[in-house]
Structure 1
Amino acid sequence: MKTLVRLLAALLMALAAAPTSAQQTTGTITGLVLDPQGMAVPGTTVTATNAATGFSRTDVSDSEGLYHLNAMPVGTYDVVAELPGFIRLERKDIAVDVSETTNLNLTLRLAAVAETVTVVGDTPLIPTTSSSVGQVVDLTRIERLPLNGRQFANLAATVPGVGLGFHSDPTKATEYVPQISGGNGRNVDYVVDGGDNNDDTIGGLAQMYPLEAIQQFNVMTQRFDAQYGRGGAVMNVVTKSGTNDVRGSAFTLFRDTSMNAKTESETLSHVSKQDYRRYQYGGSVGGPTLSRPSIRWGSFRRKTACSRFPCARTSSPAR
């Protein structure tokens, strides 16, 4: 009996000490540091800095010239590689997307005199470290594409293999939701900032987020990692976190009676156009706080509607 208790205690301690894997809300930059002959350059200090937030992460290349910059918040980074005896190399505007690995090889040249090489360019579009099928919907697409109803998840329809279907919630039957590989509702696993955001009763998003609050999201339609663990597809969403500069936005959309034609019911009932008003408004603001050195971001959205509809009544002739 004592032996069994000891084995169970050892097993519990081992499980407690085992590292846990959380669903990713960040990205990774990795690659090789090489010399002009293609040989590995160990001991190189590689630093990635986000100019908007000031966040930075540093790693040193190993004996094979390999470096890893893990757990990088979504954004655009400037990468610098430095080693005595070599020219300082800068790579600007390197994009890091949620749940994605950016492969960035760095080639250093021997330094004859003090100089710096700055390279501005995009990273390869084809990932070589993951078999996941899908696409990242970035901030540019979120801000510039027209969107009926301002439901951010509907932008997933810009990803191959994704369409739009009616909401699985009967109380939201007029709204559209992403339909991936022919399924929606519980077929899609929604992850927001690493947390589960699924309606366990009928499927779909449990908590809706304003369009202005979304930084980007990754739509994975097939062959995604086992860490997500459910659904036939995954939508991994990252919300905005603010920058060192104070920024914000505001919007308002409206429709009223003067902008509408008579409905078929109004025509059949021989009545004038009925009162109709629909407003959708909101905004966002973010930046550094004054009380303590931190960055905050908040957003707000509201929709109100008021309408009247004619009701036709028929009666049978008296006998």
Structure 2
Amino acid sequence: MRQTLSLRRGVLLLALILACSAVARGQDTASLRGTITDQSGGVIVGAKVILTNSNTNISRTTTSGNDGGYLFTSVIVGTYSLTVSHASFQTSVQTNIVLELNQNGRVDVALKLGESSQTVEVTAVVAQVDTASAGLGKVEDERAIRDLPLLDRDTLQLGLLQAGVFAPDPDDSSGNPFSVSGQRSESLTFLLDGANNTDFLGNNIVVSPNPDAVEEFKILTNNYDAEYGRTSGGIVNQITKSGTNQFHGDAFEFIRNDALNARDFFAADRSSFKRNVFGATTGGPIKKDKT
């Protein structure tokens, strides 16, 4: 009897852990759905739909249901191609589908009559509009992180470019980089790859990743889903980069000095100031087509 009770408790604990993992995974990924039709608008049942990551060549496959719909969940953010095929129809390939953090993307595909060996490729896809969520927020992607100047190489400084995000009060002692929607800066929640990254004592960020390791981040400013909860001052969700099939690297140097500084009105000369922040990164696949 005692062994049975212990086993039940163990199974219950495992179920709770797995449930929490699924929720956390949903916070650092995206989803893609759509409907497969013919040119007359009739739905196509049983079409083969393949979603392929352009960086890793990792693919996921599904088929369209009775309503012609397909759905991919827990998709790692990045650029994808979508291949749809069915007997008696030409194969459709759509490339450059960009899925961002927490996005519910949608791509509907209309197949043309013809042999499945014939391929129709669409290389320019309209930007995805999230119609499944009412949450307000904006994604800062890798390009913004790489190209815009960052004091102390702090990626979260870019959050101040978003609507509803403000610099904290000068008397604020939390150390957080901003406040959201009129709330206190201590009311923020920080997530890293879907896991809680908030120090519960000061309610500030625990780990601030190197900018070279950040794929993108999103600040949810209002009306976000119940899965986030806990605080009312905004959700700061960062995700780190995953692997690619190519070896890559970069080098950088950020320079600040007195060459372009103005002389203080009350000073006889310009103050001497020289600051150089430099470094390099490199990476590559351990095994291709795996992540």
Using structure 1 for the length normalisation, give the TM-score.
0.77
Contact 1:184 1:204 in 2 (8 A): no
Larger RCO of the pair (alpha carbons < 8 Å, separation 6+):
2
Deviations 1:215-255 (A, max 9, x none): 11121111112112222211111111231111112212234
Residue 281 of structure 1 deviates from its aligned partner by: 2.1
Counterpart among 69, 72, 78 of residue 69 in structure 1? 72
For 1:252, the equivalent position in structure 2 comes to 253
CA separation in 2, counterparts of 1:165 and 1:40? 52
Contact 2:99 2:128 in 1 (8 A): no
Matches within 5 A, 1:1-319: 13=11, 16-17=14-15, 20=19, 21-23=22-24, 24-111=27-114, 114-165=117-168, 170=173, 177-232=177-232, 233-256=234-257, 276-289=273-286
CA separation in 1, counterparts of 2:84 and 2:115? 17
CA separation in 2, counterparts of 1:138 and 1:82? 32
Residue 12 of structure 1 deviates from its aligned partner by: 7.6
Distance 1:165-1:113 versus aligned 2 partners, 3 A rule? closer
CA separation in 1, counterparts of 2:184 and 2:130? 27
Distance 1:199-1:283 versus aligned 2 partners, 3 A rule? farther
Contact 2:85 2:116 in 1 (8 A): no
Distance 1:96-1:274 versus aligned 2 partners, 3 A rule? closer
Q: Residue type matched to 1:207 in 2?
A: V
CA separation in 2, counterparts of 1:273 and 1:62? 71
Distance 1:64-1:245 versus aligned 2 partners, 3 A rule? same
Aligned length: 284
Residue 40 of structure 1 deviates from its aligned partner by: 1.4
Aligned CA-pair RMSD: 3.1
CA separation in 2, counterparts of 1:180 and 1:293? 41
Contact 1:103 1:124 in 2 (8 A): no
Distance 1:112-1:200 versus aligned 2 partners, 3 A rule? closer
Distance 1:168-1:242 versus aligned 2 partners, 3 A rule? farther
Distance 1:274-1:40 versus aligned 2 partners, 3 A rule? closer
For 1:312, the equivalent position in structure 2 comes to none
CA separation in 1, counterparts of 2:171 and 2:120? 55
Q: Which residues of structure 2 form unaligned runs of 5+?
A: none
CA separation in 1, counterparts of 2:171 and 2:56? 39
Distance 1:112-1:56 versus aligned 2 partners, 3 A rule? closer
SS in 2 for 1:165: coil
SS in 1 for 2:152: coil
Contact 1:168 1:204 in 2 (8 A): no
